[in-house]
Structure formats: C-alpha cells, structure tokens
Amino acid sequence: MAKDYYATLGVRRDASQEEIKKAYRRLARELHPDVNPDPATQERFKEITAAYEVLSDPQKRQMHDMGGDPFGGAGGGGAGFGAGFPFSDIMDAFFGTASASRGPRSRARRGRNATIRVELDLAESGFGTTRELVVDTAILCEVCQGSGAAAGTHPDTCDMCHGRGEVSQVTRSFLGQVMTSRPCPQCGGFGSVIRHPCQECSGDGRVRTRRTIKVRIPAGVEDGTHIQLAGEGEVGPGGGPPGDLFLEIVERPHPTFERRGDDLHCTVSIPMTAAALGTSLTMETLDGPEQIDVRPGTQSGQVIPLYARGVQRLNESGRGDLLIHVNVETPMKLDPEQEELLRKLSQLRGEERPPGKFAPGQQGFFSRLKDAFNGR
C-alpha cells in the first residue's frame, strides 16, 4: 500500500510549497538524529525527509498524487536521502536560513579609520581654533579608479568558479549526499581575476600619499576629547568608501591656570599686610589683564571668583569661571624695626598675649605634670 506523504508531514493535499516547507522544518527540528538519537525517531526522520523530497518536487508530487511510486520502487520509507535531496532545507530548519550560494565578494571594502593626536594650548582648546593637519593616508588610485586593473583592461571572470566566487563539493554522509561550498581558491571569492594589475597601485585600487586638510577645532574641547571627521580616513581596497579620521585632543599644561572642566583655577600669594589692609592686583587672564580687588581682612584659602572668565562650554552657550585662591604669606624673618612695629601693633590690638591654652606664660597639662615630677 502506497504511503500518504501528505499525512506524514501533516499537511492538506492542496497545501502550497511554502506550507510543505514550514511543516518539514518544524518536524526536522524535533526529529533530527542530532537532537533525538532514539532509533524510532531516526526512522521517523527518514520518513518525513522522504515525504518532503517527494512533495517539494512538482514531478514527484504529481506521480504520488496519481498513485505511482516517485522513487521507482525504492520505497518511500527506505529511500533515505536521494541524490537530488536539497541539504539546504535541513540547514534552514535549524538555522532559519538556507545554505544557498553566497555569490562573489566585492573587491570594494570600507577603508580603515585613522587617529591622530593634536596638541593645543589652553586658549586654543578653550576658545576653538583652526588647524592644518598633514595626514599620511590611502587615496583612490587615479589611474585605474579603484578597479585594480591596468589601463585598457578589466578583471576577467574566474574560469574555476565561473564568476560565482565559490566552489562546491559533494560528499557522502549518513544524511546521504551533502553539498558544501567554500570560497574559490583561484579568485579568493571575488568571482574575477585581475590578470593585468595596475602598475600604479599594484592592483589594490588605492595609493598612499600625504595630504593636508584644514579642520576646525570647536571651543570647549579638553584633554582626551575625540573629534570624528567622517569620510576623512583611508580609502578602502578596490576603491571602497573611506573610513573616518579621529582627532585626539592633547591639552598642554598652562603655567598659571589649572583646568577643571569648564572652570580655571589659580593661586596668588599676597603679603600679610596686603591681606589685612586690602589691595588691588593686576592679573593676566585668557581675556587679557584683569583688575582684582582684595578686600581688607582676606584670609588665606579664600577664593575670589571672576565669573565667565573660564573656558567656553563645549556645544553650549556660556563659559566657566576663573577661581583665584588666595595664599596669605606670613614673614619668616623680621629686622628689629619691623619687629618693634609689630609689637606695637599687637599692644594696640591687645594681642601681645593671645588667648588660649598654648598662649605664652600659660602651661598645658603635660607641662604642669612635668613640673610636678621635677619638684617645682
């Protein structure tokens, strides 16, 4: 009694090729020997494979519908995998894609990205600048225009793969005859062979040269900032599109200012008398000389802010601040006249004996303890 291959796959007799294929994929994922090694399951897998081989072939399907034997007496269940069985459908069942021919590879590939370091002064990074950069890179060969072939010639179709870029090999396994493909060893998978390479680029489609580009550095960049210049990198092999050029900003140290984000910090030292009486200082900033007023009684460590005198904020409006840290210097050596004047000042202010447990003439706990042991 003839097998009902429609029932084997669980589809209607009027099922479309897509419905038959989907049913086979679903069953193959469940019954494949690599998934389920049970002997009964392996036999069932052979049955659904034979059913799919018949129903996916219009001629064999018509013969089956008419009651004939599509395998010529070989028997559906024992047919296994015939010579014409599409192995790609098994691969498709497991990976969701067929192992069909990939076709030749393109010689044109995207070029590599390049990175160069750009050193800037604080004013240049803070306010922006324009630089002319010399770049050693690969550009399109003007002789062959990227084809890699000498003038008046063109790449020839590979006579080994006939332009497909790959060669196929049929091997036998427990699944039957299996066809595998690999890149053509003669053309490298391109499908064509350059028999007469361009003498200018040696068939690469590009040449190395040194060129100068003008770039604008935006205001507010800082040490470590990367700027991407799209399409300014190397041209790819075979005249492929160029990669990108990245500028890595290196900010030189400033002798006066320390940058912290968008703010600038610096330290000024003033004498004790200037801190007590107040004074004015002229300081050189990134915007030029600035007059700074130091209020009377300024203490060491106080900060005098100059708003909007820092660096420009990157991609934003406004600037940071300049923060001036005050350091009050106390004289270490005094001549007799200076010492006398300071003593008079301390008397006038009542500070000749400052209050506190360590003031002159007062003994601390350890001093009194020492005196007790010494019999004082």
Tens digits of per-residue pLDDT, 132-176? 999 998 999 999 999 999 988 989 999 988 888 888 777 766 556
pLDDT digits over 288-307, tens only?
Answer: 999 999 999 999 999 999 99
Q: 184 among the known binding-site residues?
A: yes
Q: 266 among the known binding-site residues?
A: no
- Report the pLDDT value the prediction gives residue 62, as an integer from 0 to 100: 82
Residue 101: φ, ψ to 5°: -60, 135
The DSSP 8-state label assigned to residue 196 in this structure reads: S
- Report the pLDDT value the prediction gives residue 97, as an integer from 0 to 100: 43
Compute the distance between CA of residue 133 and CA of residue 214 in angstroms, rounded to an integer.
Answer: 6
Q: 141 among the known binding-site residues?
A: yes
**Residues of the chain predicted below pLDDT 70:** 1-2, 33-36, 71-103, 172-179, 353-376
Residue 147: φ, ψ to 5°: -75, -25
Compute the distance between CA of residue 110 and CA of residue 136 in angstroms, rounded to an integer.
Answer: 17
pTM exceeds 0.85, yes or no? no
Length of the chain: 376
244 near 229, Cβ under 8 Å? yes
Cα 179 to Cα 82, 176, 268, 342, distances in angstroms: 12, 10, 82, 104
Compute the distance between CA of residue 257 and CA of residue 319 in angstroms, rounded to an integer.
Answer: 15
- Report the pLDDT value the prediction gives residue 34, as an integer from 0 to 100: 63
Residue 162 in tokens: 């006939």
Compute the distance between CA of residue 25 and CA of residue 31 in angstroms, rounded to an integer.
Answer: 10
Angle of helix 58-65 relative to helix 39-55, nearest 10 degrees?
Answer: 100
Provide CATH code, domain 5-95.
Answer: 1.10.287.110
Q: What is the identity of the amino acid at 212?
A: T
Q: Delimit the domains of the chain by residue range.
A: 5-95, 258-329, 336-373
Block residue for tokens 């021919």: 101
Block residue for tokens 């915007």: 287
Q: Do domains 5-95 and 258-329 have the same CATH topology?
A: no
Provide CATH code, domain 258-329.
Answer: 2.60.260.20
Compute the distance between CA of residue 66 and CA of residue 53 in angstroms, rounded to an integer.
Answer: 17
